Structure 1
């Protein structure tokens, strides 16, 4: 049995996106008979529960992320488990760490977003962003196999299955979906939820999907109870495919969720909440299926609410956005392609 180690972290501060996109590929690898082990210096109870539910192991390595102790423990785990390959995803891993991981002899798959960090020391590089093919990976990862562009967006099995089912027409999608990822590090969910509820048009239902790693879960559940509008908060939803299928508009943080929304052809207002999300969000907006707004400034909440209400009140615009999404080169098989590329180098 082939063992693959995954080195990624999650916390309220750094979010859960690194782990979740690795998990999408890990699901495929496990389905092909591989044993998967996550090695983490930081995690959250919600992420631990997700990994356990997927039948995936998790060990903790000493922090801080990317230091010598982390590397030593990760290399020890590779030896102990006899891992043939390792996926690494995160911004805290410097040149020495990556070189040390490559020197272990395992096949290295590195996730990247901006090509603005140290050399990747990888056999494979994955960046599913629209602009990825223009980035200097020939310099950062000479000789590596490059898995670039939207064909390599890693969709979870749940989303792949939902995308294959018929979806209701736009006129019947009465839900406005609000989601800021697994932890919402900027704390935007509550203020934006209040703003949307105050401006909500007749017949619009607002659903906020909140990750279990969000430290404000209790406050958000209480807020939903106090609001008079039809507002619901779901924590760690296990039905995101169905939720997206019924959404006439999504207000979402950039990152992994934006690919899922595109596959599900949901008109979307992308909110940039981290610097690394800006290029991919702008690239997606240029394709016409979404719009993007900066969520990092002091006036972010009113800007987000105003843009969302403008889109909701323009069903023709949202239908056109959905049509643009359906024309994208997305077939839901990105995670499968990544897994196949990783395993093909082991044969």
Structure 2
């Protein structure tokens, strides 16, 4: 089975889309699929990382210098070229390549793009989080927990489309399932905290969280601070961590699940990392760093799964320090968050196995 994945990373897009597609690629490869990627060479792309994982990447040429599609707005800018141009360039790459399944993970791509690729591929799968546009696809995955999540694509996909909806289908790397054997209900005092705001964090929320913790004066608590290789503030953050024995700096690591299991509490962003923390039952203080994270965070907070502070632009250091102090001192609340987090994710393994079987035909 020949599978191609159309996905991008950039300073604007972030790294999450590529990371979850790498997870899906690995699961399909384990079942015998031959997987390749199609990526545009944006500033901040992860093509080198994908090839280092052993996958061939068909590269779409670098977009205009400003990285925006002409007359683009919102997520349409993320392609860097007009929608029809991206579709035709992708089609050219696939011209002599048999494609049984084309997977698309891109907020800028919609039904118009997919229709242009229809006669070039056997089936199309879309990975989405927004439910804000129509798709011409055979499969759709939206792993998020929002109001009415089971029905919000009813008018956006064809009647024959098989949908995989909700956090039980979330794409998590194998390391997180391996750590389930060590997963624990968080009880007792907070001895270790994890700070992670995604691979890029271009507004330096990591630095804000780090300063918020230091304001507590709690040198009895160890803190793991994780950043991606593309983080523009990584040297500054590393310098701060080197000043304190109880702060531990990590850059572009492969043992995130292990760090999560070590932690008693986490501070970070919404997105895929939310589900990683939930699977391992890690209580979390969460800030949304992208528009698509807001409703998910609100829904999880309403269910008492996380402590949600709001959008990054609205969060002052003093606010984060205050909520961090409250949660550190409230064991009962942390323990209940831990229990509810894992409860939300308990069917993940079975659901994912079913989804992969469907995709493989």
Question: Cα–Cα, structure 1 residues 276 and 168, in superposed 2: closer, same or farther, change >3 Å?
Answer: closer
Q: 1:81 aligns with which of 87, 91, 97?
A: 97
Q: In the alignment, does 2:93 pair up with 1:93?
A: no
Distance 2:126 2:38 in 1: 15
Contact kept in structure 1, 2:105 and 2:126, CA below 8 Å:
yes
Give 1:192 deviation, angstroms: 1.8
Aligned pairs (5 A) from 1:104-253: 104-117=120-133, 119-131=134-146, 133-143=149-159, 144-167=161-184, 170-171=187-188, 174-226=191-243, 228=244, 230-253=246-269
Could you list the per-position Cα deviations for residues 40-93 of structure 1 after superposition, in whole angstroms to 9, with x for gaps in the alignment?
Answer: 114577833442343222221134516333212212233333121111112122
Distance 1:161 1:173 in 2: 24
Distance 2:122 2:28 in 1: 16
Aligned pairs (5 A) from 1:285-304: 285-304=301-320
Contact kept in structure 1, 2:168 and 2:352, CA below 8 Å:
no
State the SS of the aligned residue for 2:334: helix
Distance 1:330 1:11 in 2: 33
Give 1:325 deviation, angstroms: 1.8
**Structure 1 match to 2:6:** 7
Give 1:185 deviation, angstroms: 3.0
Distance 1:340 1:77 in 2: 27
Contact kept in structure 2, 1:28 and 1:336, CA below 8 Å:
no
> What value does the CA root-mean-square deviation take over the aligned residues?
2.2
TM-score (norm 2): 0.87
Contact kept in structure 1, 2:99 and 2:121, CA below 8 Å:
no
TM-score (norm 1): 0.90
Distance 1:42 1:135 in 2: 35
Q: Which has the higher contact order (CA 8 A, sep 6+)?
A: 1
Unaligned regions of 5+ residues in structure 2, if any?
64-68, 70-78
Contact kept in structure 1, 2:183 and 2:280, CA below 8 Å:
no
Could you list the per-position Cα deviations for residues 83-128 of structure 1 after superposition, in whole angstroms to 9, with x for gaps in the alignment?
Answer: 21111112122442232133433311111112112x1111111111
Question: Cα–Cα, structure 1 residues 3 and 173, in superposed 2: closer, same or farther, change >3 Å?
Answer: farther
**Structure 2 match to 1:260:** 276
State the SS of the aligned residue for 1:178: strand
State the SS of the aligned residue for 2:277: helix
Distance 1:103 1:186 in 2: 42
How many residues are treated as equivalent by the alignment? Answer: 341
